[in-house]
Structure 1
Amino acid sequence: MKFKTWLLASMLSLSSFSAFPVLATENDSVNIYFARHGKTILNTYDKVQGWSDSPLTSDGVETARYLGAGLKGIPFDSYYTSDAGRQRETMQVILQETGKSAVKVTELPGLREMFFGGFEGTPNKYMWDFAAKRAGMASSEVLFKQIAEGKVDLVTMVNVISQSDEKKEAESALQVKTRMKGAMDTMVQNALKNGDKNILSVSSGLSMLMMLSDMTDSPNKNKPLKNAAVVKITYKDGKYTVVDIGDMSYVAKGKEILNKK
């Protein structure tokens, strides 16, 4: 079995226990702030970046600093990223900005971006054009227009990408959702055990949207997340509630704070 296939199977196995026992009392609640990583080199070149990786650009670092400054007033108790360098780097910039560089950051592979298989590293337009034509559309521009109009959902297109991968290793929407929710369950279990109230997690855009796919009816779950955008989810009484999707107010607040210095 190929290494990537084995690793994917391992993560899905570890993420399969999403229905964990309720450890909270009636008044316990946990806030999870998921942030997308800062802009990377591959983002700049508009290349597919799933399990492949690249460092943050100078603009990406700056935006992560703004995010850190904007989040500074929230008393986070625990911190998580995947094992991807761009997520680790984003978290370290945030922590440096908040004066908490020495805190422990836990890595969960389940927080990785979607694995795009044979599309990894190719131009985004190539992949999305390929998926659009397989779905009977003329181009990615037509596809994105239909997504914006609510005629096509991202889950459907992620599955088309998965089915279009000649290597047969790209993840399906269900695989991404399952491991992301498994990672979120792990974070909440740890929080309930330790009495934590606020969690900060750095992940990636499409995987975050797949996680939200059946958690909310908001049309924002089908809109791309900007770099450093925040998704806020609250856990209480055994249930998750999506509070915000794609919130850029923390970046705007941090930018205002830092530009005054």
Structure 2
Amino acid sequence: MKIKTWLLASVLSLSSISAFNVAAEQTDSVNIYFARHGKTMLNTYDRVQGWADSPLTPAGIETARYLGAGLKGIPFDRYYTSDAGRQRETMQVILKEMGKSEVKVTELPDLREMLFGGFEGLPNEDMANAAAKKLGMASGAVMFQQMKEGKVGLIPMVDAISQSDDKKEAENALQVKTRMQRALNSMVQDAIKGGDKNILAVSSGLSMQMMISDLTDNPDKNKPLANAAVVKIIYENGKYKVTDIGDMSYVNKGKEVINKAQ
């Protein structure tokens, strides 16, 4: 199936936030922990990495180990990644550190990072400059400063990237949000059917931000997520509540645990 056809099907399958909410009469409660993957080779080279992929660096593996050690006390019932190698690898490192290497991990392509189209593999600076130009700004540096000051939102930036792609294949903000929320809904529905309470999912930074873009008013949703940072969402009574954004406490806790054991 061509990329554009896949993206169109993704959007048409979910036209509004109400379409993905589980029935409001439900009284089930589910905790969903989303973690960004560990640092990769392309992250290190400051290259665009969406549907393109690269392996974790030694530092990325180490941070994933810390995350696994920090999450170890949580009784997870289900585990998810996308089909991207960096997310799979991060999950396997986490599970090994938790002593759960044999558990089943479900892959959902919807959990992929944003598709950046023709920008894939190029320097991040090139993509940022192109998006800034589309927004009428002098450079990516100016755009990021405007975002830091709260003058430009994340969604306009994502849409500017999409509009700047000369290959016309980069996803826009709605497309990323749609598929990520579809994945979230699917995970919760499976958890409710199975009577499960805690879910761990590994995804990517920008796609996680798009997922929560209309689920919270917390301005932290517009801040970049560090590698292995956690976003926690609680589903209860048919609604989603984002309680933590960019949480590094699990990594810090795990680092202390591992260093003490050495």
Q: TM-score, normalised by structure 2?
A: 0.95
Identity %: 69
Deviation at 1:42, TM superposition (A): 0.3
- 1:59-83 per-residue CA deviation (whole Å, 9 max, x = no partner) reads 0000000000000000000000000
Deviation at 1:9, TM superposition (A): 3.6
Structure 2: gaps spanning 5 or more residues: none
Deviation at 1:7, TM superposition (A): 3.4
What residue number does 2:178 align with? 178
Deviation at 1:23, TM superposition (A): 8.3
- Please say if 1:220 is aligned against 2:220: yes
Instruction: Tell me the distance in 2 between the aligned counterparts of 1:77 and 1:257.
Output: 23
Structure 1: gaps spanning 5 or more residues: none
Instruction: Give yes or no for contact 1:15–1:110 (8 Å, CA) kept in 2.
Output: no
What residue number does 2:124 align with? 124
Counterpart amino acid of 1:22?
A: A
Instruction: Give yes or no for contact 2:22–2:185 (8 Å, CA) kept in 1.
Output: no
DSSP-derived class of the 1:185 partner? helix
- Please say if 1:205 is aligned against 2:167: no
What residue number does 1:49 align with? 49
Instruction: Give yes or no for contact 2:39–2:60 (8 Å, CA) kept in 1.
Output: yes
Q: TM-score, normalised by structure 1?
A: 0.95
What residue number does 2:234 align with? 234
Counterpart amino acid of 1:110?
A: D
Instruction: Tell me the distance in 2 between the aligned counterparts of 1:24 and 1:105.
Output: 29
Counterpart amino acid of 2:132?
A: A
Please show how residues 72-83 of structure 1 align to structure 2 within 5 Å: 72-83=72-83
Counterpart amino acid of 1:239?
A: K
Instruction: Tell me the distance in 2 between the aligned counterparts of 1:21 and 1:131.
Output: 36
Counterpart amino acid of 1:45?
A: Y
| CA pair 35-207 structure 1, distance change in 2 beyond 3 A | same
Deviation at 1:212, TM superposition (A): 1.1
Instruction: Give yes or no for contact 1:209–1:222 (8 Å, CA) kept in 2.
Output: yes
Please show how residues 9-24 of structure 1 align to structure 2 within 5 Å: 9-12=8-11, 18-19=19-20, 21-22=22-23
| CA pair 61-14 structure 1, distance change in 2 beyond 3 A | farther
Please show how residues 135-154 of structure 1 align to structure 2 within 5 Å: 135-154=135-154
What residue number does 2:85 align with? 85
RMSD: 1.5
Instruction: Give yes or no for contact 1:38–1:86 (8 Å, CA) kept in 2.
Output: yes
Instruction: Give yes or no for contact 1:36–1:228 (8 Å, CA) kept in 2.
Output: yes
DSSP-derived class of the 2:20 partner? coil
Counterpart amino acid of 1:79?
A: Y
Instruction: Give yes or no for contact 1:11–1:109 (8 Å, CA) kept in 2.
Output: no
Counterpart amino acid of 2:150?
A: G
Instruction: Tell me the distance in 1 between the aligned counterparts of 2:9 and 2:135.
Output: 31
DSSP-derived class of the 1:256 partner? helix
- Please say if 1:259 is aligned against 2:255: no
Deviation at 1:149, TM superposition (A): 0.9
Counterpart amino acid of 2:112?
A: R
Instruction: Give yes or no for contact 1:50–1:114 (8 Å, CA) kept in 2.
Output: yes
Counterpart amino acid of 1:257?
A: V
Deviation at 1:89, TM superposition (A): 0.3
Counterpart amino acid of 2:3?
A: K
Counterpart amino acid of 1:47?
A: R
Deviation at 1:139, TM superposition (A): 1.1
Instruction: Tell me the distance in 2 between the aligned counterparts of 1:15 and 1:202.
Output: 22
Deviation at 1:4, TM superposition (A): 2.5
Deviation at 1:5, TM superposition (A): 2.4
What residue number does 1:99 align with? 99
What residue number does 1:111 align with? 111
Instruction: Tell me the distance in 1 between the aligned counterparts of 2:102 and 2:24.
Output: 29
Instruction: Give yes or no for contact 2:21–2:239 (8 Å, CA) kept in 1.
Output: no
DSSP-derived class of the 1:243 partner? strand
Instruction: Tell me the distance in 2 between the aligned counterparts of 1:5 and 1:241.
Output: 32
Deviation at 1:134, TM superposition (A): 1.6
Instruction: Give yes or no for contact 2:24–2:239 (8 Å, CA) kept in 1.
Output: no
Deviation at 1:138, TM superposition (A): 1.2
Counterpart amino acid of 2:215?
A: M
What residue number does 1:4 align with? 3
What residue number does 1:189 align with? 189
| CA pair 41-24 structure 1, distance change in 2 beyond 3 A | farther
